[in-house]
Structures are given as structure tokens and as C-alpha cells.
Amino acid sequence: MRKKLLIEGMSCNHCVNHVTNALSEIDGIKNVNVNLEEKYAMVDSENNDLDDAMKFAVEEAGYEVVGIEEI
């Protein structure tokens, strides 16, 4: 499954690394690609039941998930 997380609060490459690391630590996440300019993370996962875990991880890292889209 591929999801696009719309994220507010990222302003630099450190933010990108922080979000990437937070999402990559979730069991079932295969790939994470964060786009700073467009303020989103593209996430490939093994299943479709990770929305809550992804939102929690991003928010624990200090950012806000304002939307999740299935791609």
C-alpha cells in the first residue's frame, strides 16, 4: 500500500530526517520518501492498517499530520 501523509511544521533537512526516521521505525513500513518543499511523506507499507501508527509517530516527532491519502 502507498500512502501520502500531508505534514505541517517541517522547515529544514533535519525535519525531513526526523520524520523519515520516525516513520521508518514502524513495523510494516517498507519505504519512506519525505518531500520538504511540498510538505508530504510518501510511505510504502505492507498493509493498510498503519494510518494511526504513522500519524502518532509523526506527531511524536513534533509535526502535524493534516491528511492521509491513499495513492
Domain boundaries, the chain: 2-70
2-70 folds as: Alpha-Beta Plaits (3.30.70)
Q: Which residues, in sequence order, are CB contacts of 14 under 8 Å at separation 6+? A: none
Look at the block and give the residue holding cell 526516521.
Answer: 21
Q: Which portions of the chain are predicted below pLDDT 50?
A: none
Please identify which residue in the block is written with the cell numbers 510494516: 28
- For the chain, the straight-line distance linking the first and the last C-alpha, in angstroms and rounded, comes to 8
Q: What is the pLDDT of residue 2?
A: 96
Closest CA to 26 of 67, 1, 71, 58: 58
In the structure grid, which three cell numbers stand for residue 29, read together?
A: 513500513
Predicted pLDDT at 40: 98
Q: How far is residue 35's CA from residue 38's CA, in Å, rounded to a whole number?
A: 6
The pLDDT value given to residue 61: 97
